Amino acid sequence: MDPLKRIAREIRYLDGVIPTLLRIRKIDPDAEILVCDDFEDAVDKFADHTALLFEGERHTYRQLDALANRFAAWADAQGVKIGETVALLLPNRAEYVPAWVGLTKVGVSVALINNNLTGAALAHCLSISNATHVITDTETLQAIETIRAGLARPLDYWVIDAGFAPAADRHGLDLKEPKLAPERPAKARRAGIKARDVALYIYTSGTTGMPKAAKITHMRAQLYMRSFAGMTKANASDNIYCVLPLYHATGGLCGVGAALLNGATVTLRRKFSATHFWGDVVENGCTMFVYIGELCRYLVNQDAGPLDRAHQLRLAFGNGLRPEVWEEFQARFGVKRIVEFYGSTEGNVSMFNFDGQPGAIGRVPPYLQKNFAVRIVQFDVEAEAPIRGEDGLCLQATHGEVGEAVGLIKDDARHNYTGYADKAASERKILRDVLEKGDAWFRTGDLMRQDSDGYFYFVDRIGDTFRWKGENVSTTEVAEAISRYPGVDEANVYGVKIDRLDGRAGMAAITPGEGFRIDGLRDYLVRELPSYARPMFIRMAPAIETTGTFKYRKVDLVRDGFDPAKIEQQLYFDHPDQHAYVPITPELYARIQGGSFKL
């Protein structure tokens, strides 16, 4: 790299990392300064500035605080004690953030439940929260009918919509009730609560099973919110567009924190809509937006429109922006800066790509390596375990080598690991004796590589990467290649078992769009991928199931395999004699499983 460009890159990096670190430097596990105190400080500073825009409603900082105080008064009226938990089962709406902020003002923990869940998954999340009260609305209340038999204990449901008629275990929560005071509860009401205590429970997405409840301490919530307040450098003139679910950290803490700790405005939408995205952004004068997963690709796949560059967006921040989408998105829509970040709800590994290297999820320059306790260790994909040397310690990956990212566990804000409500699940995420005997590191479960300039690149989730013909196959990299084929709207790649064969063969679930032709796909993949990485099986899918944060669910696809008796959609097999994808019939399925082909 040219020396001047190298210097400019380091200036951009330091310009991002310094204000971020400055915002979090005073977070102390043993302090009595809580996440609700951060919010109250912002209210005192920006009282009459617009904090939230939602479906035509405008709420100032002062009004949001009054709403939060009413939720605190409700908890007191119900006798909810310090340390107890209340569940929040709501879609994105104006009351969401005030609800959990208000409850933390009186020392109550809040379980943020995915409002899209029903049945066993919803019952599971409510049960492990240990809550006895659930705050919900009429829209979400319908899901309650699907869970009664699966609950571990009876629950009281409090519906915040006006005019709700109480019945049995369902009560109206009138936020305009005079007895629910809009004044702040005294800080003495939460005396004894420390920053290391639990503020929220945020649930993992459940891509491979039932969701787990990650413990979000006040300290960790502050880390999320203050970090993004520093990184974005938002100010009172900014407006951050948020279409992500508030029950997850990226939208509910990172996006919200970037705005509400800096006096900026959040423009909130119930759900993401590619059709309405640019209209909303332009109409509300948004200057930033927070993304996750496939959101940017959905926008790129929309037809060009007059609003594509009529906006004022100068920054997009989030995670999961695929490399092949990054440059196209930036070039088409003219968003000057993209900051990709990496982090997990429960983990202690986080990093930012401050200087806009397309495809990188973060960077730790060589000269700061000792200041950031994240490492990549060599990993055995077949054994699904880190590789250890003769001394029993893990072997660090070299530059460019794929391994598992791990983070050193220490008792401070940046490196603390609080895990899940389930202690056994928490312990499974800890890797011991990594670089020295007795140390403990958080296992991200993500395979990454780091280059000589310090950039980290995501490769795949452990368990998603599979081994075929003696080679490790990254489902992410294969999906990226398939997504570039004309007419592919979505691609989800995974490995499936074939009887009597070692490893797993590649399979791709594809949602076809306009112009897709199966007869040209194989020739394209021959050019793009090595033979061991090319999907042996193709499944047509009208829509690929995702979680609330646009992560693909694979568990059901893997279970179905390539059996036409289980799958209604069209299936194809890369026939080794015909050199083409051919439809899988029951007879062909039997031949494949019987070993008729040399694969």
Per the domain annotation, does 371 fall within a domain?
yes
Helices 35-45 and 218-232, axial angle in degrees (round to 10): 40
On whether residue 415 sits in a domain, the answer given is yes
Indicate the SS3 state at residue 220. Answer: helix
Residue that finishes a domain, picked among 416, 441, 461:
461
Q: Are residues 433 and 473 in the same domain?
A: no
Q: Does residue 470 surpass a pLDDT of 80?
A: no
Residues 426 and 528 in one domain: no
Residue 594 pLDDT > 80, yes or no? Answer: yes
* Res. 179: pLDDT tops 60: yes
pLDDT at 165: 80
Task: Give the pLDDT score at 469.
Answer: 79
Pairwise CA distance, residues 182 & 39, whole Å: 15
Element (H, E) at 323: helix 323-333
pLDDT tens by residue, 15-56: 999 999 999 999 999 999 999 999 999 999 999 999 999 999
**Tens of pLDDT along 125-164?**
999 999 999 999 998 988 887 786 668 788 999 999 988 8
473 shares a domain with 566: yes
The answer on 372 and 489 residing in a single domain is: no
Bridge-partner residues for 408, per DSSP? 441
pLDDT tens sequence across 52-99: 999 999 999 999 999 999 999 999 999 999 999 999 999 999 999 999
Is 125 inside any structural domain?
no
Average pLDDT of the residues of the chain = 91
> Does residue 489 share a domain with residue 411?
no
Contact between residue 320 and residue 292 where contact means Cβ atoms under 8 Å apart: yes
Q: Is the pLDDT of residue 166 over 90?
A: no
Does residue 454 sit in the same domain as residue 550? no
**What pLDDT does 43 receive?**
98
Number of domains in the chain: 2
The domain of 410 spans 367-461
Higher-confidence position of 163 and 451 = 451
H-only helix segments in 459-498: 475-483
Among 430, 461, 492, give the residue marking a domain's end.
461
Q: Which of 194, 36, 181, 47 has the alpha carbon at shortest distance from 103? A: 36
409 shares its domain with 498:
no
In a domain, 225, yes or no: no
Q: Is residue 205 part of a domain?
A: no
313 within some domain = no
Q: In 10 A of CB 344, how many CB atoms?
A: 18
Residues with Cβ within 8 Å of residue 585, at least 6 apart in sequence: 564
Lowest mean pLDDT among 138-147, 278-287, 451-460, 550-559: 550-559
Q: What percentage of residues in the chain have a pLDDT greater than 70?
A: 97
pLDDT grade for 571, boundaries at 50, 70 and 90: very high
Which pLDDT value is given to residue 544? 64
- pLDDT at position 207, please? 47
- Alpha carbon separation from 433 to 230, 327, 373, 383, 504 (Å, rounded): 34, 41, 15, 18, 31
What are the tens digits of pLDDT across the range 300-356? 989 999 999 999 999 999 998 888 789 999 999 999 999 999 988 888 999 999 988
CATH number of the domain within which 416 lies:
2.30.38.10
Q: Note whether residue 166 is domain-resident.
A: no
Say if 207 falls within a structural domain. no
- Kind plus residue range of the DSSP H or E element containing 18: helix 3-24
What are the φ and ψ backbone dihedral angles of 172, each rounded to 5 degrees?
A: -85, 140
* Chain mean position to CA 441: 21
Predicted confidence (pLDDT) per residue in 492-537, tens digit: 999 999 987 877 899 999 999 999 999 999 999 998 887 888 999 9
Mark which of 409, 437, 461 sits at the end of a domain: 461
Q: Which two tokens stand for residue 366?
A: 């060589």
Q: What is the pTM (predicted TM-score) of this model?
A: 0.82
